[in-house]
Structure 1
Amino acid sequence: MDLDAVRTFVTVADGGRFQDAAAALSVTQQAVSKRIATLEKSLGVRLFTRGARGATLTIDGQAFLPHARDLLRAEERALASVRPGSRALRVDVIGRRLAPASLLRDFRRVHPAAELDVVTLFDVDAAVDAVRSGTIDASFRAVTMPGRRLPDDIEAARVFDEPIHLLTGPAHALAAARAVTPAELAGHRIWMPGLVPGTEWGAYYDALAAAFALTIEITGPDFGTEPLLDTIADSRSLATFVGERTHLVWPADHGLRRIALRDPAPVYPHSLIWHRDNTHPTLAALRADLRTRRAGHSPTGTWAPGWAQRGTDG
């Protein structure tokens, strides 16, 4: 249906005169008459009767008017959904309990009027495809994996280095430690059944294991966070890695311990990626906020894979 004709119909109905509608729409009276005639032909009914006092709605016109208004409201909603500044900024995070989601919550506290639509995609390839297609505006990822190069129309900036913690149960040999070095973990079993080969987080932990001669096991089905925590809590030998800002909740009787890693402190290199042509004002505000947060960050005493250290500061 021609929405210009529908808009013209509503304007005539509101004003009662074709001449007034022409002035309101900045078109000629002939154009108004033509649009109404075309609309009446497509509907197969008369919408107005014209007389000395102007245009009066017919019974069919009265029946059509509320639906015409609905059509125009739907048009406005459709336009607002893609108009920069009017629609929510759609951002991908790896998981809603992980650091990127926490960074977005921090941003939202500073910018309470910012509308965000948070989604979770599987890996960096899916995220890049979604950014390029316009399905999402931005994504938090570790993007410079070995053998990977971002497309020329995609921008990336390293925005947050998240310290990695060791998580153990109360009976584990390291449970009483306040901090350990990565080298001290050699010979201990690190269990991470959620690691998926070929993903950016899989590549990160592969590099961490290789750098410090660690044993990271991914055997067994991944039943999710709660069963993993249950197993770690009851084990004397298994531990796992979690990000410092990963949000975890467990029963008090689990007695789980978060232990910092030091000398060096492994950090997970979160980057923000976006399309270079994206002008959404909330994206600009998010990038500025993340730059401010990173300004005081010092990489001294930290470790990240070599592929994450090249060309990612921004």
Structure 2
Amino acid sequence: MDTEAVRSFVRAAELGQLQHAAEELGVTQQAVSKRIASLERELEVRLFTRTARGVDLTLDGQAFLPHARSIVAGADRAVTAVRPGSRALRIDVLGLRSAQAVLLHEYWRSHPGVDLDVVTLRVDDPHAAAAAVQAGDVDASFRTVTDPAALPQDVRMVHAFDSPCELLVGPRHPLASARTLTPARLRGHRIWVPGIVARSEWAEFYDELATTFDLRVDATGPNFGNEVLLDTLADSADVATLVGARDRYLWPAGHDLRRIPIAGPALVYPLNLLHRANPHPGLRAVLAYFATITPVSEPAWRPSGFRPSP
């Protein structure tokens, strides 16, 4: 099996576009298309379907992806075995518009010579991310295992930074004119977070948040992506959602959405980082950069299960 074809498939799956995969791999989009087509012929299945925004994995593609990552990671480890330190630091983020990706981009801009590879594992179970770290598929992952005793023996979890939450609403929402909000003022309002996955860390976060502040967190309906969520908020007079202060969201000017900070206390999503006991040599500088981030103003609420073990 052609490992470069498998690598092209993995990057296209993670980025959702053949062109972006080609740019990262330093080849043409036609070359990526040919590699994936060759791989599909060899496997005798279709791995992608074309969409207006790029490509989506088929069911066969979803099944093949974790094995493809292992193939690529194995090839990379083989190269590293004879060329130590040659591979870029590979960090898993929840999304390329998430606060983690935004801050990693800021780090890379301030350290342009750093060889950094930012990926999205597309797994909801943090234990699966921990297994990927243990296997060497990634060097670090922005995930939280709320029971540190369940971590693999050679995987550690450290605190990276705090992400304060903001309320995102449309212009007709009753809270749209507020400059700041307390958690108490959110009580009774519908906070829509569609598609919360059972056993995910964010499911635990929202469960504890709703219980602590008596909030109405509504997870009904499938998650059709940020664009549909933003369209819904723009048209609604009663739907709101929570977003991270550093998360990057883009919407048409006509939506007139409002991001409203929450304080008294601030609602904080602690972002932790999983890494191996013997970490990639480039990780120390990333953690040092996170340590320079201005801390969240107190008072602040943080979920109890998100604290790394001493």
In structure 2, the CA distance between the partners of 1:299 and 1:178, relative to structure 1 (3 Å rule), is: closer
Using the aligned pairs only, state the percent identity: 49
The amino acid across from 2:176 in the alignment is A
Q: 3-state DSSP class of the match of 1:211? A: helix
What is aligned with 2:188? Answer: 187
List alignment gaps of at least 5 residues for structure 1: 1-74
Alpha-carbon offset, residue 99 of structure 1: 0.7
In structure 2, the partner of 1:164 is: 165
Equivalent residue, structure 2, for 1:301: 299
The 1:114/1:135 distance shift into structure 2, 3 A limit, reads: same
How far residue 88 of structure 1 moved from its aligned partner, in angstroms, is 1.0
Contact 2:173-2:236 within 8 A present in 1 as well: yes
Larger radius of gyration: 1
Deviation at 1:149, TM superposition (A): 3.1
**Residue pair 1:169, 1:175 contacting (<8 A) in 2 also:** yes
Does the C-alpha gap of structure 1 residues 212 and 113 become closer, same or farther in structure 2, counting only changes over 3 Å? same
Q: Residue in 2 aligned with 1:114? A: 114
| SS of match in other structure, 1:245 | coil
3-state secondary structure, aligned to 1:141: coil
Distance 2:277 2:120 in 1: 21
Structure 2: how far apart are the matches of 1:76 and 1:98?
27
Superposition deviation, residue 101 in structure 1: 0.5
Structure 2 residue matching 1:180: 3-state secondary structure: coil
For the 8 Å contact 2:144–2:274, the answer to whether it is kept is: no
Gaps of 5+ in 2: 1-74
1:270 aligned partner: 271
Rounded to whole Å, the distance in 2 between the matches of 1:125 and 1:99 is 21
State the AA in 1 paired with 2:191.
I
- Structure 2 Cα separation of the partners of residues 77 and 204 of structure 1: 35
Q: CA deviation at 1:259?
A: 0.6
**Aligned pairs for 1:1-314 within 5 A:** 79=79, 83-121=83-121, 122-123=123-124, 124-143=126-145, 145=146, 149-278=150-279, 280-293=280-293, 296-297=294-295, 300-309=298-307, 311=309
Aligned-pair CA distance for 1:222: 1.3
CA distance in 1: counterparts of 2:148 and 2:77, whole angstroms: 43
SS of residue matched to 2:178 = coil
Paired with 1:185 and 1:139, the residues of 2 have a C-alpha distance of 32
- The alpha carbon displacement at 1:116 in A equals 1.5
Q: TM-score, normalised by structure 2?
A: 0.70
Task: State the alpha-carbon separation in 2 of the partners of residues 81 and 118 from structure 1.
Answer: 22
Question: Compared with structure 1, are the counterparts of its residues 173 and 299 closer, same or farther at alpha carbon in structure 2 (3 Å cutoff)?
Answer: closer
Contact 2:93 2:120 in 1 (8 A): yes
Pairs aligned (count)? 234
The residue type paired with residue 271 of structure 2 is H
C-alpha separation in 2, matches of 1:245 and 1:104? 12
The CA distance in 2 between the partners of 1:126 and 1:79, in whole Å, is 25
- Cα contact 1:142–1:201 (8 A) shared by 2: no
State the alpha-carbon separation in 1 of the partners of residues 197 and 205 from structure 2: 11
Aligned partners of 2:297, 2:149: CA distance in 1, in Å?
24
- Find the residue that maps to 1:91 and give its secondary structure: strand
In 2, Cα distance between equivalents of 1:205 and 1:286: 28
- Following superposition, the deviation at residue 102 of structure 1 comes to 1.1
Q: In the TM superposition, what is the alpha-carbon distance from 1:239 to its structure 2 partner?
A: 0.4
How far is 1:80 from its partner?
5.2
